[in-house]
Amino acid sequence: MPPGEAAEATEAPPDEAALAARIAAAHAAGEPLAVWGNRTKASFGRPVQAAASVSARALAGITLYSPAELVIAARAGTPVAELEAALAAKGQHLVAEPPDLSALCGPEGGAADGPPTIGGAVACNLSGPRRIALGAMRDQVLGVRAVNGAGEVITSGGRVLKNVTGLDLCKLLSGSRGTLAVLTEVTLKVLPAPEATATIMLRGLDADRAVAALAAGLGSPFGVTGAAFLPDAAAEAAAGVVRGLGAGGSATLLRIEEFADFIPYRSERLAALLAVHGQASVFGDEASRALWRSVRDAVPLRVAAAEGVWRLSVRPSAGPRALATLAASGLRGFLDWGGGLVWAAGPATEASQRAVSSAAAASGGVFWTVRAPAALRAALPVVPPEPPALAALTRRVKAAFDPKGILGPGRIFAGV
């Protein structure tokens, strides 16, 4: 296990002030720290060369929830599930439906320290199927409190839905994986949860036809909030967890989430629109929820123990070609986000890593290594390298938050 991913070295200060003091001490000593929540996404990033780790997991609890104002705030270590339960009790939900990747990318050879936290979901900016229609995790972040690399508690944004006051550090910190500042509290926009969910499914399409069907659905006025394509193997894997999916080759899936009264009309219209692509079948509420949860968490990849996992974000129409290129390199996968999100799994080798990197580059998109052995994550980039001018900005902005480079050094880019 890489030193920065070892559980025994992780300190979890009890509150924000203690966390700030710990980071200030590390800053004074020039001591690098790995930055964690519950380490459910330990392999999402390069291994950090740090003897000590600091976790925000002890900062827990919902600090504000105002359903009529569509806003919830929680300390960074609060489990995502706790927010989801509090929201569900008031008929609301987290718009970006962050995936639970703990089964895929927990610490090598060990267990995570607990369930996924909201701080981790924001710090990794991981979003589920609804991303294509309603935005990413970062789009819902209204305000943050965080400790920068000098041990200072900084804030940005607030608790209101519209705010353009000053530079938007909420988005910059989202997805920065703890390398600029350690999130201590986040304030999120939430939305009413739909009364009902339905899924329109077409079977047996090839990837090109499937993405054309997804584009037609997303370009329709019927409010599609999920658009995925599961090739044969992925559809078969999903059938193992979703009752009623059954056999029948690839599955092209479109989700509608609405008031229950509106579902029949929208399902019919969508099925009619897609009739040129094939005969549609419709899944009801319960099966739909199970299906999209499995798509969200990449269950259809059916990842074997030693395999690597990658995510690519490309122009939606480029998804089928990326999938084909990866298949030629021995990787299997499926598409979400109307074709724009490619999930891939296969041998955790340098050859696979390079295949992912070139497939992303060929389609003008990006990739993230989600899981691979530490040695591979250290040897090859886990995200596309930046051109020199941008890489220089990355280093300068990193220094603007963390002058001594102590927060998760090397987590995203080697040497930063």
Ranges within 184-203 binding other proteins (CB under 8 A): 191-193, 195
Residue 167 C-beta: closest distance to other proteins, Å: 5
Q: Which 65-94 residues touch other proteins, going by CB under 8 A?
A: 66-71, 90-91
One-letter amino acid at 109 equals G
Binding to other proteins (CB under 8 A): which residues in 108-137?
Answer: 125, 127, 131-132, 135-136
- Pick the closer one to other proteins by CB: 239 or 273: 273
* Residues in region 231-260 near other proteins by CB under 8 A: 259
Q: Which amino acid is at 128?
A: G
Distance CA(60)–CA(311), nearest Å, equals 29
Q: Does 221 bind other proteins (CB under 8 A)?
A: yes
Alpha helix (H) residue ranges in 90-240: 102-105, 118-124, 131-134, 169-173, 207-218, 232-239
Binding of residue 354 to other proteins (CB under 8 A)? no
Q: Rounded to an integer, what distance in angstroms lies between the CA atom of residue 22 and that of residue 33?
A: 10
Q: Cα-Cα-Cα-Cα dihedral of 220, 226, 231, 232, to 10°?
A: -110
Q: Which helix (H) or strand (E) holds 319?
A: helix 319-328
Q: What is the DSSP letter of 407?
A: B
Task: Give the largest CA-CA distance in the chain.
Answer: 66
Would you count residue 326 as binding other proteins (CB under 8 A)? no
On the CB side of 205, CA atoms within 13 Å amount to 25
Is 315 a binder of other proteins (CB under 8 A)?
A: yes
Q: Does 380 bind other proteins (CB under 8 A)?
A: no
Identify residues 259-288 at the interface with other proteins (CB under 8 A): 259, 261-262, 265
Residue 27 CB, shortest distance to other proteins, in Å, is 14
Q: Which of 29, 161, 362, 375 binds other proteins (CB under 8 A)?
A: 161
404 lies in the site for other proteins, by CB under 8 A: no
Taking CB under 8 A as the criterion, the residue among 148, 294, 325, 353 binding other proteins is 148
In the complex with other proteins, the residue whose CB is nearer, 159 or 404, is 159
Centre a 10 Å sphere on the Cβ of residue 55 and count the other Cβ atoms it contains: 28
b/e 400-410 (16+ beta carbons within 10 angstroms → b): ebbebbbbbbb
Applying CB under 8 A, does 44 fall inside the site for other proteins? no
Residue with Cβ nearer other proteins (58 or 154): 154
If binding is defined by CB under 8 A, does position 213 make contact with other proteins? no
Q: Does 374 bind other proteins (CB under 8 A)?
A: no
